[in-house]
Structure 1
Amino acid sequence: MLGAAGCSKSADSSSAASSTAAAVYGSAEDYDYENFSYSSGLDENGYWEGVKALDYVTLPENFASLTFKRSEIEPTEEEIQSEIDSLLSDHATEKQVTDRAAADGDTVNIDYAGSVDGVAFSGGTYSGYSLTLGSGTFVDGFEDQIVGHTPGETFDVTVTFPEGYSDSTDSEGNTVVLSGKKAVFSVTLNYISEKVLPELTDAWVAENYGESDDVHTVEELKALYQKMLYNTNLQNAIMDDLLANSTFKELPKEVTDYQVNQCLNYYYTMANYYGYDLDSFVQTAAGYENADDLLEGMSDSITTYSKEALLYQAVAETLDIVPTQEQIDTYSSYTGTYGENYCTMVALMDAVTDALTESAVVS
């Protein structure tokens, strides 16, 4: 939940998802996203500063005792197995493969050295980089040209940097323009990395989770995931119900501006990390024309996150809920990154979630 914002690209959040979004949220240049701070606009109680949520949202009368069918909440065997599979994947070991050609989807280990017009540039050389082919991590065309090569080969990869890509420097500090330039990378394919999953046995479970979670058998592990998924499904059902049955007069600008700034700051930070300007990065990484198009495509998500933020506070205001010190302490190690007020807000959301799940009726 820490760092969550309406900036994830959902399946229906294409640039055409909301033709009215630009009018709703304006342009990226209207926001000070470069200086976004997670705790800015929040008070020490984890509330939106100067905002009374109940002035903007009317909760359904039965919000404190929502009812659900057990069949809608209980996780399926497929959902539990999916979690188990993900867990095993997290514990997979690496096997280095050198006797076949690289294919799309493989993770390969490579050395590379790039140059533009014969000049090597800062950031263009690396040894032992782990790259998943088809992930879109590198400039378009780079990963495709590794497919079909065999470990031990050294070959050239030629790509063109997109317009707007940041300048680099050579070994003497002189500027090397990369935007729109053709670059040649000498690439050595060291090996292909394959995952080897552990065998799910009682002994493996006991070794990895016997001490930390008091889980010693495969059946106990599945029961643990069943409980976790049940709680997650119930929490999601509660929020879906509140979103569908609460009445919103309007959304306070303080809350929507916060969500927009958080979303834009995420992409701005990633753009800086990879050496792009914001517009070029969202075009390359997210498929939008520019940051304004991003806001248009993300408008539904931003609105939903803003409503959820108001709902948590509205419930807290109505039921006089405050997080326990234990809930606050859960996030104490994150205050340096997110600030105390933001961490308190997340703890408050936990307290509200606990209260609503405990009072919900599942039959």
Structure 2
Amino acid sequence: MKKKLVMVLMAVMVATAALGGCGQKGATTDSSVSAEEEKDVEIPAKELLKATDYKVEKYVKLNDYMNMTVELSKDYTVSDADIQSYIEYLMSMYPSYEVSDKKTVESGDVVNIDYVGKIDGEEFSGGSATGQHLKIGSGSFIDGFEDGLIGKNVGETVELNLTFPEDYSNNTDLAGKAVVFTVTINSIDTEKEMVYDDLTDEYVSENFGNKGISTVDDLKSQVSSVLENRNHSSKMTEIQSGVLQKLLDECEVTLPDGLLDQRITEYKERVNNAVEKSGKSFEDYMGMSEDDFNNQVSDYIEESLKQELILEAVVKDMNLSVSQKNFEEFVDSYVSSYNIADRDTFYKEYGGEDYIRLSYAENQALSKIMESVKTKVADNTDASDDADSSADAE
């Protein structure tokens, strides 16, 4: 069973895979030209489209795809209110502490501690801290750590002989190992919930100074950048979704004979194999009954196929070529990100180098359309910004 890389998402190049079979020529993992010879070669549309066994122009009538307007659900501009709201969220995670006059630790207390952890007499990475606040009973530390401080007094140093859990996921190298923590109780503190009016340079420096943020202005600037990046990503996702929907709505597409049935059959086979390997019932694994799945899968595969054919038609219409070097850089990035053994394994798993290269070209075509699209927010206020609407697919 061969899979097809349908589309590579913008910016992070996340591939969405769907099954492929009918409509795909025999997948190849070896090129007749060596990788070194291909490094700087531009692969033209005619060569890219040889990965299919149909002439896409017979099945797709394109719209005016370079002159589309997509409606956005909201204005993605970052406002002062957005910045304040995010800072308030951060402040909720960084309360202020005042030293109390309490001397003996009880469950529920917030203690300020210094500690050093050692395994076989040696300190280990992440096992020590100074000025750490810990709420006793929160379960933040491994079993025995917090309970071992109950009844102890401020100023006292305690030695805790503990063992990391066998299923310790924070650092699997420590799982099941014996550890000795030497803990000094500095104080028992009162926790004060912070609000925006409490924001000062001192507070920022104390809580975010280790990240290079020492003033209120620094924090606002950093938060603004975070929100702008997040909003840009969300905006690109909505633009991409809108573009694909517009293409489906406005282009005329028919599917090559047998292609839909073949894809549905192979998709069901893959799902059923996954269910069988899981040892679960179909409904538990899929979150729906098999009847509901069968009713939905045809529409899902049909829409996916139509998107593929439309983008293939755009590749041909644009006479788009792709850089072999850039394509290989994408493949290497994908292989690394998803822990795939090597390029050949990736090619074999997803239908062959030629077919993946065509999918990469489809993504480049989608990127060019997104660069040209105009946008408006739902209330028809013009939100077009060619710079913001562009996305680098490489």
Band the TM-score falls in, shorter-chain normalisation? 0.3 to 0.5
Give the number of the structure whose alpha-carbon radius of gyration is greater: 2
TM-score normalized by the length of structure 2 = 0.44
TM-score normalized by the length of structure 1 = 0.47
